[in-house]
């Protein structure tokens, strides 16, 4: 009875994960050939930058301009906009580098946790980085996170950084 109940609880928890992680855990946990343990050794290199915003569309456009200066490619940027009206420049924004993907999502439910969850659901990459809509990202931001996760301890699930304010 206990292994069956535990399997159901784990399955419920797996269904609450973002789709990209859920698919991985379902392959490991629910596969009948798999032993009942969770492995955390999948390759993580692709990055999704998620920017929740509310009533700061012009500011987000400036942040997107700074993201054009990143020293790497092959990542995606997701803007989750909670403002009542969409901004045409945000909807049509494109990076010059075709390997950097851009996704725009306009949502009606206001709230930072919800916007973060929507961004995670839309993300197609393994590593999720949340940045503020008014940040000036260092040109090495994406590359730094790639290096952290490339060499990470398998017990690490979250990495946080310090915010340095500049006037």
- Could you report the per-residue pLDDT of 87-121, keeping only the tens digit for each? 999 998 988 877 889 999 999 999 999 999 999 99
**Is pLDDT at 76 greater than 90 in this prediction?**
yes
Among the residue ranges 21-25, 103-107, 120-124, the one predicted with the least confidence is 21-25
Query: What is the chain's alpha carbon radius of gyration, rounded to the nearest angstrom?
Result: 18
Integer CA distances (angstroms), 151 to 27, 45, 46, 162, in order = 24, 11, 14, 20
Task: Report helix, strand and coil shares of the chain as percent, to nearest 5.
Answer: 35, 15, 50
Q: Is the pTM of this model over 0.75?
A: no
């Amino acid at each position: 009875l206990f292994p069956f109940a535990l399997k159901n609880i784990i399955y419920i928890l797996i269904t609450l994960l973002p789709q990209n992680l859920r698919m991985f855990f379902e392959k490991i946990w629910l596969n009948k050939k798999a032993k009942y343990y969770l492995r955390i050794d999948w390759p993580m290199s692709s990055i999704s930058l998620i920017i929740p915003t509310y009533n700061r569309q012009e500011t987000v456009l400036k942040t997107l301009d700074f993201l054009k200066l990143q020293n790497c490619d092959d990542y995606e940027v997701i803007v989750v906009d909670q403002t009542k009206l969409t901004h045409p420049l945000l909807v049509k924004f494109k990076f010059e580098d075709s390997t950097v993907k851009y996704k725009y999502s306009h949502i009606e439910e206001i709230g930072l946790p919800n916007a973060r969850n929507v961004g995670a659901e839309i993300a197609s990459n393994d590593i999720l980085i949340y940045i503020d809509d008014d940040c000036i990202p260092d040109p090495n931001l994406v590359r730094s996170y790639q290096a952290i996760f490339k060499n990470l301890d398998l017990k690490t699930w979250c990495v946080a950084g310090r915010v340095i304010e500049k006037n």
